[in-house]
């Protein structure tokens, strides 16, 4: 009946709230039984012409109603607490798992899946813990309690009622076999519709430019119509399943009442017993019927828990204890090979050295594997062959903490967070003074702009949406400078910055390289000419290594890159004419 022990074990805090919830529901049932038995006694006495106190009956009824009210409220509070602690515990467990997986998690599971599982999955399980589980236990307890109360009055009626109760889960199970396939199709179409809606909305401008919006509109309408039809099928199935449950529930109650009526006619039970059975028989079935109406919650919960377990069961990298020594941190790659998928090797044996201080550049045509190598060095990618060492220690043995502390990576799409400029900068150095922040901003040529805004308190929107691409990169560079690590990897970190400012920032990078190890990946070869060593990467291999002058003299790969870039940078209609001639 969709009870997952592992899942329940994960959120042990919820257990006590679920138990309390069941206890309150049970207390409300006891109050209801007391009220109905008192009314049954009053009616039987009245009809038998015996003395019956209306006031006492009313008093018991009011007291029972008050108890039921309080218990129902408390049960709702417990339900809320159970779902809240379940949600918190699940999200905490997922987060801890992600932290253990480290930055390389994305090679094992997609970020969208992680987000879906953490947000929507936990949301689904919230109702599983808050509504389904308490109802599951209560719907087992309630018929047994009623059986104990009614058995002394009429054993045969109580047995008939008790036997009919499991027919509800049996009917649910039958509906479920059909519902499972239908729900899988429903969710498939639902997510597909969501995907295309989001894609079309985000690309609306492009669709308008190419006048493809009409066609997309038509396709979305078709998809929406398919989704409407399957939604109707799901609703019909749910309505039908409720009808079946109602038939079983009220049919069962009617059967119990018939047995009681026949026993009354045969003089085997009195008027009180007959009234008691008539009034309480429906209560045998109501909890199980409600459970049946929650079965879609349970199904969604089970589907969500499968996704969560898939994430939690991902193999984790072994805990590492190695620490990078900032004084001896020469980075060496020897015969490094890497592939995202087995059929297509990206790095095919790269040898590279990044000395303790100095500027080393990595250049090559688009797609030759530069960012892949940067990803391996920064620990974002895992699963390489060959050797990468820092200060003689294998990178694979260095703890994530030490790697993050000693290697700073700045990419072309630097991540900024919602908050203020100061908050974004202090991520790198929480105790940095305002002067230090301004100094870093001066170095990346962003200080003047920020002075004209709100200084360090200038708000930063999510992903830095209120800054230009170049300003975002400068801010990310300023943050990286504050981090003050011995190794820097700059992967197209100045790609969005105008040439004049880029030259100023390159001067800064050169200054940085006087005391730090800097690996610079840049498309713009003019940026790397001053590097003490340049590696030219071609199709996953080092095709040349040396200074700019050495490579220009000896490396055909570098010559090609340099010449084609020179031609582009000095492009005029005349050069085109010359090229054509």
Binding positions for ligand ATP, rule: CB under 6 A: 340, 346, 364, 366-372
At 92, phi and psi to the nearest 5? Answer: -65, -45
Query: Which one, 126 or 491, has the nearer CB to ligand ATP?
Result: 491
Residue 371 or 485 having the CB closest to ligand ATP: 371
Give min distance, CB of 350 to ligand ATP, in A.
11
φ and ψ at residue 402, rounded to 5 degrees: -65, -40
Minimum Å gap between C-beta 98 and ligand ATP is 18
Tell me how far, at minimum, the Cβ of 546 lies from ligand ATP, in Å: 20
Q: Alpha helices of 203-270 — where are they, by DSSP H?
A: 204-209, 213-265
Q: Residue 364 or 470: which CB sits closer to ligand ATP?
A: 364
Crossing angle of helices 54-101 and 12-47, in 10° steps, is 160
Task: Give min distance, CB of 545 to ligand ATP, in A.
Answer: 16
| Shortest CB 339 distance to ligand ATP, Å | 9
Query: Which SS3 state, helix, strand or coil, does residue 525 take?
Result: helix
Terminal-to-terminal C-alpha distance of the chain = 80
HEC assignment per residue over 92-127: HHHHHHHHHHCHHHHHCCCHHHHHHHHHHHHHHHHH
Q: Tokens 């090609």 sit at which residue? A: 560
Give the separation between CA 473 and CA 16, rounded to whole angstroms.
50
Closest by CA to 302, choosing from 193, 195, 192, 179, is 179
Question: Least separation, in Å, of the C-beta of 415 and ligand ATP?
Answer: 17
Minimum CB separation of residue 506 from ligand ATP in Å reads 18
The torsion of the CA quartet 95, 98, 103, 107, rounded to 10 degrees, works out to -140
- Which CB, 210 or 340, lies closer to ligand ATP? 340
SS3 52: coil
Minimum distance from residue 356 beta carbon to ligand ATP (Å): 25
Q: Which is nearer to ligand ATP, 35 or 373 (CB)?
A: 373
Q: Which long-range contacts (CB under 8 A, 24 or more apart) does 313-316 make?
A: 314/97, 314/101, 314/105, 314/108, 314/109, 315/108, 316/97, 316/100, 316/101
329, 487 Cβ separation under 8 angstroms = yes
Q: Which is nearer to ligand ATP, 283 or 502 (CB)?
A: 502
How near is the Cβ of 105 to ligand ATP at its closest, in Å?
13
* 122 vs 352 by CB, closer to ligand ATP: 352
Number of CB atoms found within 10 A of residue 73's CB? 12
Q: Which is nearer to ligand ATP, 273 or 369 (CB)?
A: 369
Token code pair at residue 443: 């170095």
The CB-side HSE value for 580 (13 A sphere, CA atoms) comes to 7
Q: Report CA-CA distances (Å) from 283 to 269, 271, 290.
A: 20, 19, 11
Closest contact distance (angstroms) between CB of 543 and ligand ATP is 13
Decide whether 396 or 495 has the Cβ nearer to ligand ATP. Answer: 495
Residue 535 burial (10 A CB sphere; 0-12, 13-18, 19+): buried
Of residues 366 and 577, the one with the C-beta less far from ligand ATP: 366
Nearest residue (CB) to ligand ATP, 135 versus 371: 371
User: DSSP 3-state assignment of 416?
Assistant: coil
**Smallest distance from ligand ATP to CB 372, Å:** 3
């Amino acid at each position: 009946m969709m009870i997952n022990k592992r899942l329940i074990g994960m959120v042990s805090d919820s257990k006590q709230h679920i138990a309390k919830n069941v206890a309150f529901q049970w207390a409300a049932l006891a109050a209801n039984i007391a009220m109905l038995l008192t009314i049954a006694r009053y009616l039987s006495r009245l009809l038998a012409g015996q003395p019956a106190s209306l006031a006492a009956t009313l008093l018991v009824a009011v007291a029972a109603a008050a108890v039921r009210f309080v218990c129902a409220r408390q049960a709702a509070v417990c339900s809320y607490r159970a779902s809240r602690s379940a949600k918190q515990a699940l999200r905490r467990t997922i987060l801890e798992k992600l932290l253990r997986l480290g930055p390389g998690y994305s090679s094992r599971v997609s970020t969208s899946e992680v987000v879906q599982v953490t947000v929507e999955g936990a949301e689904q399980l919230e109702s599983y813990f808050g509504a389904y589980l308490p109802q599951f236990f209560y719907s087992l307890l309630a018929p047994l309690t009623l059986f104990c109360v009614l058995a002394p009055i009429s054993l045969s009626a109580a047995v008939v009622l008790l036997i009919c109760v499991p027919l509800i889960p049996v009917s649910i199970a039958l509906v479920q076999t059909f519902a499972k396939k239908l729900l899988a199709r429903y969710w498939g179409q639902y997510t597909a519709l969501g995907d295309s809606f989001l894609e079309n909305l985000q690309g609306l401008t492009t669709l308008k430019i190419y006048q493809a919006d009409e066609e997309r509109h038509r396709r979305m309408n078709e998809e929406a119509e398919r989704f409407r039809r399957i939604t109707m099928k799901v609703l019909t199935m749910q309505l039908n399943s409720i009808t079946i449950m109602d038939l079983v529930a009220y049919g069962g109650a009617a059967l119990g009442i018939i047995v009681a009526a026949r026993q009354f006619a045969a003089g085997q039970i009195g008027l009180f017993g007959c009234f008691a059975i008539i009034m309480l028989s429906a209560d045998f079935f109501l909890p199980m019927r409600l459970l049946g109406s929650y079965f879609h919650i349970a199904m969604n919960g089970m589907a969500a828990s499968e996704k969560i377990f898939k994430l939690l069961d991902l193999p984790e990298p072994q805990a590492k204890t190695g620490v990078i020594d900032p004084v001896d941190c020469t980075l060496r790659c020897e015969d490094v090979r890497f592939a995202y998928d087995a059929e297509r090797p990206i790095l095919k044996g790269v040898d590279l050295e990044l000395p303790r201080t100095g500027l080393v550049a990595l250049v090559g045509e688009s797609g030759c594997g530069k960012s892949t190598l940067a990803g391996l060095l920064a620990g974002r990618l895992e699963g390489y062959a060959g050797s990468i060492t820092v200060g003689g220690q294998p990178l694979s043995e260095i703890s994530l903490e030490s790697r993050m502390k000693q290697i700073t990576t700045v990419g072309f799409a630097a991540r900024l967070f919602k908050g203020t400029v100061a908050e974004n900068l202090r991520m790198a150095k929480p105790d940095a003074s305002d002067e230090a922040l301004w100094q870093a901003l001066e170095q990346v040529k962003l200080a003047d702009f920020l002075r004209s805004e709100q200084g360090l308190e200038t708000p930063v929107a999510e992903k830095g949406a209120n800054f230009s691409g170049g300003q975002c990169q400068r801010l990310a560079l300023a943050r990286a400078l504050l981090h003050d690590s011995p190794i820097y990897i700059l992967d197209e970190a100045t790609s969005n910055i105008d040439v004049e400012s880029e030259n100023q920032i390159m001067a800064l990078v050169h200054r940085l390289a006087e005391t730090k190890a800097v690996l610079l990946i840049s498309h713009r070869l003019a940026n790397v000419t001053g590097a003490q060593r340049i590696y030219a990467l071609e199709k996953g291999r080092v095709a040349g290594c040396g200074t700019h002058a050495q490579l220009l003299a000896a490396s055909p790969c570098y010559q090609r890159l340099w010449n084609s870039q020179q031609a582009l940078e000095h492009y005029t209609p005349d050069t085109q004419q010359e090229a054509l001639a």
